[in-house]
């Protein structure tokens, strides 16, 4: 086992972000960073530290009336070629892999753990692995399934980049294949067959005519969407195609269950063969509940709905309202140009300190 | 060079068909069969024999007022596994690779060459290679381009399988890609993009609404057809697609040029980006001309339009009217179950003998 690179949690949060980035942690290769995070947290006597694979959980046990979760993932997408770490500081911006997605957020978590030993509510810090790859490897998913008590709380904050704003909950996502069946024939004699691609025209017509709803949930507006994300059909240039498959993605408000979302899509495509691909429900922001209201009030920042699906939904699955709040522009995530304004990292730490101190 | 397997043209035409089938001649591997055909024809003093690659041409030079072509290809699609040659005779049916497509027709050509030394019109027999693979390898195409005089005639018969009926001319075929362009975006925020697959709905709607023409040419009805034969679009399950391509096949009557066919398709899809793939014009049956009329009268068989494109179009390109007439069910061509009623082979020989004797 390699000797962990030591992290000094007393350094300023921007330098701490840089230190975290400089320990490469591409998905499935998070061990060195998880070791460093665990070792640093173990130096803080007010925290109970639990290690499970490459997930590190640290909890205060102060007997507060409320518990909140602050969660962030340790992994990054693959390094650039050549690697852009160690990160550089350029005109007040931190440049390099992980600066936006999401070691700025992880640095804020660690700084809070070190600097707020007696928070106003009990805090569970969760650092997890494999967020950037197939869901089956996701560390937060695994803990939620195997040790859901570790996630238990009145409220959760996921420190994914939101450009410093608060994005509440998230929409769900469902994928189906809408399939038309025909009869193949030589294309010189199409009357001997039936064209499945032509039949898909009605599927596309329904998508074009579809008017997506805007749904108000717990004080936020979620904009639903129904889109073809793929279409395929055809056997050869001289053959009437016997099957055409339209892959459709429904992004639905967090007031709907998976069953309700599927029923809606089945209704839109009634008369067609609809096959469920995958589905992940959304997350309610819970802004009607005291824990969330206290958070928003303490931060004093505007709140909008999170349109994309994020791991906040794993808390929603446990009936824990959750929001996204973290430094960095999400549009720069995964790009070779990944970078984060240093001020956003400092501001995020200051905002969460206002809430927890 | 291997010693050619000898062919005995005096054997009955069904046995001759079997002998031809038993010399395997998968496309590009026709040499042994071309050698055998050439050697057999060279024994017939009334014919001039020309060899060019694996094409064999044999001509009478009797000074008749009219010349006709009888053409057939020597190659077959790949053998079955295990091979179903040597062919078997089962209840009056010849079973095995090549029996339908089209060594029955080749046997009829060879039998006519041997048995009708003084035909009523001069005859050019053409045996060619590589009909079953990419057009660039087609022996008839090559001869038509390099030595068109060898194809010169008032009328041509292609002995491809027609189940013993006469199929006049053929339709043309044109392929285009109709492309829609959009703007990619995350499917949770589709308002940042534009869905190219949705736009393809109008392409499919025009195809569904399209009413193909039936066009009367030289006494036959050709049924046109316009069909999507392929569609593809999509980047990932969470991305609004930025491009969608519909591949469309137009089968058009032989009264149209390639330019006219393309102009028609461009008109149908006006407003869309239409890219020409390939195009092959059809062939007029020429049933209004004396040479064709004499053929139909001599055979005494019904005539219908050929819907699929065949090599008769290579004669049409030289302004030679042409028909398809040969033993075997075209629906069995290329199948592992390829077979041909022996009677059809004998009937085809008898019919053409009535015409040429």
Average pLDDT, chain B: 94
Chain center to CA of B86: 25
**Closest chain A C-alpha to B205 CA, distance in angstroms:** 6
Separation CA B96–CA B76 (nearest Å): 11
The per-residue pLDDT for A185 is 86
- In chain A, the N- to C-terminal Cα span, in Å, equals 37
Q: Is A131 a residue of the active site? A: yes
Q: Please name the member of A189, A231, A308 whose beta carbon is closest to the beta carbon of B231.
A: A231
The β-bridge relationship of strands B214-217 and B220-223 is: antiparallel
- In chain B, the N- to C-terminal Cα span, in Å, equals 37
Partner-chain contact A190 B246, CB within 8 Å: no
The per-residue pLDDT for B174 is 96
Residues 6+ apart with CB under 8 A from A96: A21, A84, A85, A86, A87, A88, A338, A339
Partner-chain contact B229 A239, CB within 8 Å: yes
Q: Please name the member of B201, B207, B233 whose beta carbon is closest to the beta carbon of A230.
A: B233
Q: What is the pLDDT of residues A173-229, one digit of tens each?
A: 999 999 999 998 889 999 989 999 999 999 999 999 999 999 999 989 999 999 999
For B133, phi then psi, to 5°, come to: -125, -165
The per-residue pLDDT for B62 is 97
State chain A's maximal CA–CA distance in angstroms: 80
- Residue A1 pLDDT exceeds 70: no
**Closest chain A C-alpha to B349 CA, distance in angstroms:** 28
**Closest chain A C-alpha to B34 CA, distance in angstroms:** 30
Point out the catalytic residue in the list B75, B122, B154, B329.
B75
Q: What is the pLDDT of residues B197-224, one digit of tens each?
A: 999 999 999 999 999 999 999 989 999 9
Half-sphere exposure of B169 (CA within 13 A, CB side): 32
Q: What is the pLDDT of residues A44-64, one digit of tens each?
A: 999 999 999 999 999 999 999
Q: 3-state SS of chain A: helix, strand, coil percent to 5?
A: 30, 30, 40
The per-residue pLDDT for B4 is 44
Separation CA B77–CA B29 (nearest Å): 11
Q: What is the pLDDT of residues B312-323, one digit of tens each?
A: 999 988 889 899
Point out the catalytic residue in the list B19, B101, B129, B131.
B131
In 10 A of CB B42, how many CB atoms? 13
* CA separation, residue B338 to residues A239, B67, B79, B167 (Å): 20, 33, 11, 21
What is the arithmetic mean of pLDDT over A315-333? Answer: 91
Q: By the 8 A CB rule, do B48 and B146 touch?
A: no
The per-residue pLDDT for B356 is 96
**Among A184, A227, A232, A310, the residue to mutate for chain B (most B Cβ within 10 A):** A227
- Residue B100 pLDDT exceeds 90: yes
DSSP per position, A200-264: HHHHHHHHHH----EEEETTEEEE-EEEEEEEEEES-TTEE-SEEEEEEEEEE-TTS-HHHHHHH
- Helix A342-356 × helix A290-299 angle, to 10°: 130
- Residue A156 pLDDT exceeds 60: yes
Pinpoint the alpha helices (H) of chain B: 13-22, 31-42, 104-115, 139-146, 196-209, 258-268, 290-299, 312-316, 342-356
The per-residue pLDDT for B34 is 98
Partner-chain contact B247 A227, CB within 8 Å: no
**Closest chain A C-alpha to B121 CA, distance in angstroms:** 34
Q: What is the pLDDT of residues B220-259, one digit of tens each?
A: 999 999 999 999 999 888 889 999 999 999 999 999 999 9
**Closest chain B C-alpha to A248 CA, distance in angstroms:** 8
Partner-chain contact A187 B229, CB within 8 Å: yes
Q: What is the pLDDT of residues A277-320, one digit of tens each?
A: 999 999 988 888 899 999 999 999 999 999 989 999 999 888 89
% of chain A at pLDDT higher than 90: 86
Q: What is the pLDDT of residues B3-48, one digit of tens each?
A: 446 899 999 999 999 999 999 999 999 999 999 999 999 999 999 9
Partner-chain contact B198 A204, CB within 8 Å: yes
**Closest among A191, A223, A219, A250 to A307, alpha carbons compared:** A223
Separation CA B180–CA B197 (nearest Å): 7
Separation CA A256–CA A269 (nearest Å): 18
Cis bond before residue B61 (omega within 30° of 0): no
Separation CA A337–CA A331 (nearest Å): 10
% of chain B at pLDDT higher than 90: 86
With CA atoms as reference, the chain B residue closest to A172 would be B188
The per-residue pLDDT for A154 is 94
Q: Please name the member of A187, A208, A241 whose beta carbon is closest to the beta carbon of B225.
A: A187
Position B118 confidence tier, pLDDT thresholds 50, 70, 90: very high
The per-residue pLDDT for B335 is 87
The β-bridge relationship of strands B239-240 and B185-186 is: antiparallel
The per-residue pLDDT for B317 is 85
Position B135 confidence tier, pLDDT thresholds 50, 70, 90: confident
Q: What is the pLDDT of residues B329-356, one digit of tens each?
A: 988 888 889 999 999 999 999 999 999 9
Q: Is B131 a residue of the active site? A: yes
The per-residue pLDDT for A2 is 42
Q: Please name the member of A204, A236, A239 whose beta carbon is closest to the beta carbon of B201.
A: A204
ipTM of predicted complex: 0.84
Partner-chain contact B229 A249, CB within 8 Å: no
Lookup: tokens for B143: 């001869």
Partner-chain contact B175 A308, CB within 8 Å: no
Position B308 confidence tier, pLDDT thresholds 50, 70, 90: confident
């Amino acid at each position: 086992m390699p000797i962990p690179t030591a992290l000094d949690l007393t350094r300023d949060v921007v330098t701490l972000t840089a230190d975290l980035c400089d320990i490469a942690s591409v998905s499935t290769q998070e061990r060195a960073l998880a070791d460093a995070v665990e070792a640093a947290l173990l130096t803080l006597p007010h925290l109970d530290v639990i290690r499970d694979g490459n997930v590190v959980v640290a909890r205060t046990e102060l007997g507060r009336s409320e518990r909140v979760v602050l969660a962030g993932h340790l992994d990054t997408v693959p390094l650039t070629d050549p690697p852009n770490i160690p990160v550089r500081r350029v005109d007040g911006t931190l440049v390099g892999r992980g600066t936006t997605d999401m070691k700025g957020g992880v640095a804020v978590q660690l700084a809070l753990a070190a600097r707020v030993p007696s928070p106003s509510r009990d805090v569970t810090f969760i650092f997890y692995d494999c967020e950037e790859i197939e869901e089956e490897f996701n560390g937060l998913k695994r803990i939620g399934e195997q040790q859901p008590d570790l996630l238990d709380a009145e409220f959760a904050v996921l420190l994914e980049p939101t450009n410093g704003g608060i994005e509440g909950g998230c929409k769900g996502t469902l994928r189906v294949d809408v399939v038309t069946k025909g009869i193949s024939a030589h294309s010189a004699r199409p009357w001997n067959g039936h064209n499945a691609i032509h039949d898909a025209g009605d599927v596309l017509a329904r998508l074009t005519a579809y008017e997506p709803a805007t749904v108000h949930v717990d004080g936020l507006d979620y904009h639903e969407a129904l889109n073809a994300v793929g279409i395929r059909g055809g056997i050869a240039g001289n053959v009437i195609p016997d099957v055409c498959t339209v892959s459709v993605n429904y992004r639905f408000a967090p007031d709907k269950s998976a069953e309700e979302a599927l029923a809606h899509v089945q209704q839109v495509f009634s008369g067609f063969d609809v096959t469920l691909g995958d589905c992940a429900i959304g997350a309610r922001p819970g802004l009607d509940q005291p824990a969330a209201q206290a958070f928003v009030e303490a931060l004093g920042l505007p709140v909008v709905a999170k349109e994309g699906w994020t791991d906040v939904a794993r808390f929603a699955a446990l009936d824990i309202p959750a929001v996204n709040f973290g430094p960095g522009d999400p549009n720069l995530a995964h790009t070779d140009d990944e970078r984060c304004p240093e001020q956003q990292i400092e501001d995020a730490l200051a905002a969460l300190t206002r809430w927890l101190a």
